[in-house]
Amino acid sequence: MSERKKTVLIVDDDEGMRDTLTVLLKAQYRILRAATGEAALQMMEKEDVDLMLLDVRLPGISGFEVLKIAKENYPYVEVIVISVIKELDAAIEAMRHGAYHYISKDFDLEGLRTLVANASERQDLNRHVMRLRAEVAEQVDREFVVGPSRATRDVIEMARKVAGLSATVLILGESGTGKELLARLIHRESGAADAPFVAVNLAAIPRDLVESALFGHEKGSFTGAIRQQLGKFELAAGGTLFLDEVGDLRYELQAKLLRAIQEGEIERVGGTHPIKTDFRLIAATNTDLDKAVKDGTFREDLYYRLNVIPLRMPALRDRIDDVPELARFFVGRYSVKFRKNIQGIADSTLQILSSYWWPGNIRELENLIERLVAVSDRDWISDEDLPYELHVAQLAAQPSGGSENLLEQAVSTFERNFVIRALEKSAWNVTATARALGIPLSTLKFKMDRLEIRELARKIRGN
């Protein structure tokens, strides 16, 4: 992706000074020139200005007035104020109105070039901070867990193959399957992991604010637009823009998205000129876009632009072999988050989790584990911690006609949970537990073997 040259607006009534500054900066920047403050402000309405070199003394409105108006309407523009004389009061006034720096006209040429470069770097830093604030979760907390299932490994293998390409990727799959995590993995594997990753959940933004959130807006473009605002497309410049639930995008905005993909440019709400932008697009949806195209709710040309490299995230029920590894990962994550000392999750508990249908996919599993860890005061997550419906699901999943009927299995499940709780209260001392339960030690040991508790006890005592 080629890097866009930043635009510098030189505002000075001295043509010789405008020429000098143009020669000094034109190799690194796109240059615009204005002889008056009025002309400069009109130019800013039509052009996407990044930096400004502004003379204090101008015919008509003063440089300070231009500075004040510019910072109110275009807060992301960095302004260097230039004056023919060195005046401390003028410097203070310039900084008070938001100027990046104040210099006199006897400046050193190389020193000014460095100053402009520093102003550009500060602008980049400010935009980087905005991107970081826009991301809800930290990268460490958004790790993609690769389980042992073939379905998962096939998707990851394909994602890594296409990660280094600039082509648009469309990730399909049910809600909660980890589409955003896959998009982040593609971004990390792209070779530009330090570039911005900007995620937008279109379904979570009020419909009347989607356009402004994506494309940005100019001051006064609608009620409440009190200043210029950059959109997600501009924040993602040089990196990856992830549009989740793209199937929910309003039909009238689909044309603007298509233009952004095809032409590499956008236009802010209330704007009068296009803005070049450079990003890698990854879109995701749980909507059947083929059907949406046939129903007339999704543009066919946009669908083909998005569907360059399709990847489908399997539902958790179709990759059930991944459940134990995912569950262990979430136990570890939330043990750290809640400052718990939970050592792990019992094998029998993992079996129950693997018998469940998981209609909410990975998100449902993660939410369950988070809740279990949050309320647990023990070292291990075991069967009795699971909600009733998971036990029922496990029993219902058993083949009919076995040696035990459904009622006997339910009784065994209750008995196992009861014995585990008794062992925990006695710090896993089997003799003390038998005494507390009022049964012979041999009986308790027999039950522990029959109910497959002995292995769990061994693991806990070993830790």
Residue at token pair 């262990």: 328
- Domain residues for the domain of 79 are 7-134
What is the rounded CA–CA span in Å between residue 270 and residue 421? 65
Q: Is residue 155 part of a domain?
A: yes
| Phi then psi dihedrals of residue 213, to 5 deg | -65, -40
Whether residue 162 is found in the same domain as residue 300:
yes
Whether residue 164 is found in the same domain as residue 302:
yes
- Residue 138 banded pLDDT, cuts 50, 70, 90: very low
Look at residue 406 in the predicted model and tell me its pLDDT. 62
| Phi then psi dihedrals of residue 82, to 5 deg | -120, 135
Number of H helices and E strands in the chain, helices first, is 20, 14
Q: What percent of the chain has pLDDT over 90?
A: 46
Model confidence at 148: pLDDT above 50: yes
Contacts of residue 142, defined as CB under 8 A and 6 or more positions apart, other chains included, come to: 180, 181, 184
Of residues 295 and 274, more confidently modeled: 295
Look at residue 396 in the predicted model and tell me its pLDDT. 63
What is the rounded CA–CA span in Å between residue 429 and residue 416? 16
Q: Among candidates 166, 302, 264, 275, which has minimal Cα distance to 218?
A: 275
Mean pLDDT, the chain, rounded, equals 86
What is the rounded CA–CA span in Å between residue 348 and residue 330? 17
Beta bridge partners of 381: 345
Residue 309: CATH number of its domain: 3.40.50.300
Model confidence at 160: pLDDT above 70: yes
Model confidence at 409: pLDDT above 80: no
Model confidence at 375: pLDDT above 90: no
Residue 97: CATH number of its domain: 3.40.50.2300
Whether residue 21 is found in the same domain as residue 52:
yes
- Our CA angle for 362, 180, 4, nearest 5°, is 175
Whether residue 386 is found in the same domain as residue 458:
yes
Residue at 100: amino acid letter: Y
Model confidence at 184: pLDDT above 80: yes
What is the rounded CA–CA span in Å between residue 281 and residue 183? 10
Model confidence at 1: pLDDT above 50: no
Q: Is residue 319 part of a domain?
A: no
Model confidence at 217: pLDDT above 50: yes
- Token digits for 229? 């605002």
Does the global pTM surpass 0.85? no
What is the mean pLDDT of the segment spanning 380-401?
74
For 222: left if phi > 0, alpha if psi spans -120 to 50, otherwise beta; the answer is beta
Contacts of residue 216, defined as CB under 8 A and 6 or more positions apart, other chains included, come to: 228, 229, 230, 231, 233, 234, 266, 268, 269, 271
- Asked which of 23-27, 101-105, 148-152, 166-170 is least confident by mean pLDDT, the reply is 101-105
What is the rounded CA–CA span in Å between residue 427 and residue 430? 9
Model confidence at 58: pLDDT above 50: yes
Look at residue 400 in the predicted model and tell me its pLDDT. 54
Q: Is residue 141 part of a domain?
A: no
pLDDT digits (tens, 9 = 90+) for 431-451: 999 999 999 999 999 999 888
Last residue in a domain, options 314, 336, 364 = 314
| Phi then psi dihedrals of residue 206, to 5 deg | -55, 140
Look at residue 403 in the predicted model and tell me its pLDDT. 45
Look at residue 382 in the predicted model and tell me its pLDDT. 85
How far from the centroid of its chain's Cα atoms is residue 427's Cα? 43
What is the rounded CA–CA span in Å between residue 63 and residue 41? 11
Residue 333: CATH number of its domain: 1.10.8.60
Whether residue 342 is found in the same domain as residue 439:
yes
Q: Is residue 49 part of a domain?
A: yes
Of residues 369 and 272, more confidently modeled: 369
Look at residue 140 in the predicted model and tell me its pLDDT. 42
**Radius of gyration, alpha carbons of the chain:** 31
Whether residue 298 is found in the same domain as residue 352:
no
Q: Are strands 7-11 and 51-55 parallel, antiparallel or unpaired?
A: parallel
Whether residue 412 is found in the same domain as residue 273:
no
Look at residue 137 in the predicted model and tell me its pLDDT. 41
Q: What percent of the chain has pLDDT over 70?
A: 90
CB atoms within 10 A of CB 185: 20
Whether residue 63 is found in the same domain as residue 110:
yes
What is the rounded CA–CA span in Å between residue 99 and residue 105? 16
How far from the centroid of its chain's Cα atoms is residue 161's Cα? 22
pLDDT digits (tens, 9 = 90+) for 230-244: 889 888 888 999 999
Last residue in a domain, options 108, 134, 160 = 134
Whether residue 12 is found in the same domain as residue 125:
yes
Whether residue 66 is found in the same domain as residue 12:
yes
Residue at 25: amino acid letter: L
Q: Is residue 1 part of a domain?
A: no
Beta bridge partners of 197: 240
Q: Is residue 154 part of a domain?
A: yes
What is the mean pLDDT of the segment spanning 134-163?
77
Model confidence at 134: pLDDT above 60: no
- Asked which of 204-213, 222-231, 281-290, 303-312 is least confident by mean pLDDT, the reply is 222-231
Complete DSSP assignment for 275-318: EE---EEEEEESS-HHHHHHHTSS-HHHHHHHTTEEEEPPPGGG
Look at residue 130 in the predicted model and tell me its pLDDT. 62
Look at residue 228 in the predicted model and tell me its pLDDT. 76
Q: Is residue 322 part of a domain?
A: no
Q: At how many degrees (to 10) do helices 406-425 and 388-397 cross? A: 140
What is the rounded CA–CA span in Å between residue 315 and residue 174? 6
Of residues 135 and 460, more confidently modeled: 460
Model confidence at 399: pLDDT above 50: yes
- Residue 275 banded pLDDT, cuts 50, 70, 90: confident
Whether residue 450 is found in the same domain as residue 352:
yes
Total number of domains in the chain: 3
Look at residue 216 in the predicted model and tell me its pLDDT. 86
- Residue 343 banded pLDDT, cuts 50, 70, 90: confident
What is the mean pLDDT of the segment spanning 333-340?
90
| Number of residues that make up the chain | 463
What is the rounded CA–CA span in Å between residue 77 and residue 126? 11
Residue 463 burial class via C-beta count within 10 angstroms: exposed 0-12, middle 13-18, buried 19 and up? exposed
Whether residue 271 is found in the same domain as residue 371:
no
Last residue in a domain, options 314, 348, 378 = 314
